[in-house]
Amino acid sequence: MTRSPNAPRPLAAGNWKMNGLFPAGAEVESLVGRVKTDTPACDILICPPATLIRPFAGAWGQRGIAFGGQDCHFAEKGAHTGDISAEMIKDAGGDYVIVGHSERRTFYGEGDEMVSHKAAAAHRAGIIAIVCVGETLEERDAGKAIDIVSQQVDFSLPTLSTGANTVVAYEPVWAIGTGRTPSNEDIATMHAAIRSRLTARFGAGEGGQFRILYGGSVKPANAKEILGLPDVDGALVGGASLLARDFDAILDAYRG
């Protein structure tokens, strides 16, 4: 795949959601075995359930795969039963945290302001925030997708965001876990709109350094064409990241 020399290094991120018990480490072991013989030209990240960050990072964190959380509270610590902080993810060996995933926005009522606080918490802890944005089907059908997503980008990224500490993931809500994806043209148009939002706010140089991932039904069969689109700097993969065989086939998009 040809990418411009100034483009940021791509990121292939797996979001395991609420899937995986300790023995699922066998899939990570298998992935580590596959990537070390043919290192892809991208960073590789797995976000398992929080319970598995420590054992996975301990076993495989030095072997070419990073680990991260799927959500965090915005506070460092305190009376927030059931929550974990960005500092705790870092303490467990995580380098990234996903914030504002549509499942959090939908099931827990998280809005842009909350998401921005969570991303700022990641920055405070010294880990990278993956900020998710994306329109619903109703919003797309009403012709509002670009406006909605641009607004989410504006309000979900804290002021101190940089290309080094923040990744944006465009995940159309209607494409997540459904097997449906937008057309290549729609993905490229949206990524260009996100890029222009980032450069308008953070400057041409810095705005160009944010990785913009596509997520929503990425699988081995469509990865190569989606990941080859302009301004697509990697993927956020749900279902197809659970098996090393499938995730590795997605990484093929970055092999020569």
Query: Which residues does the annotation mark as catalytic?
Result: 101, 171
Single out the segment in contact with ligand PGA by CB under 6 A; choices: 1-9, 25-33, 118-126, 233-241: 233-241
85 belongs to the binding site for ligand PGA (CB under 6 A): no
- Give one DSSP letter per residue of 184-217, joined into a string: HHHHHHHHHHHHHHHHHHH-HHHHTTSEEEEESS
Single out the segment in contact with ligand PGA by CB under 6 A; choices: 51-59, 79-87, 108-116, 210-218: 210-218
Measured from the CB of residue 94, what is the shortest distance to ligand PGA in angstroms? 17
Measured from the CB of residue 79, what is the shortest distance to ligand PGA in angstroms? 30
171 belongs to the binding site for ligand PGA (CB under 6 A): yes
**Binding string to ligand PGA for residues 236 to 255, with x set by CB under 6 A, is what?**
xxxxx---------------
Euclidean distance between CA atoms 10 and 7, whole angstroms: 8
CA–chain centroid gap for 242, Å, is 15
Can you give the three-state secondary structure of 57-95, one letter per residue? HHHHCCCCCEEEECCCECCCCCCCCCCCEHHHHHHCCCC
Contact with ligand PGA (CB under 6 A) among 10, 12, 15, 198: 15
Residue 96, exposed/middle/buried by CB under 10 A (0-12, 13-18, 19+)?
Answer: buried
Contact with ligand PGA (CB under 6 A) among 111, 126, 177, 228: 177
Single out the segment in contact with ligand PGA by CB under 6 A; choices: 40-48, 69-77, 183-191, 215-223: 215-223
Beta-strand relationship, 96-99 and 128-133: parallel
Measured from the CB of residue 239, what is the shortest distance to ligand PGA in angstroms? 4
CB 225 within 8 A of CB 204: no
Q: In residues, how long is the chain?
A: 256
| Residue number, 89 or 235, with CB nearest to ligand PGA | 235
Contact with ligand PGA (CB under 6 A) among 218, 226, 232, 244: 218
216 belongs to the binding site for ligand PGA (CB under 6 A): yes
CA–chain centroid gap for 180, Å, is 18
Q: Which residue has the tokens 């490229």?
A: 188
| Residue number, 85 or 181, with CB nearest to ligand PGA | 181
Q: Which residues bind ligand PGA (CB under 6 A)?
A: 15, 171, 176-177, 215-218, 236-240
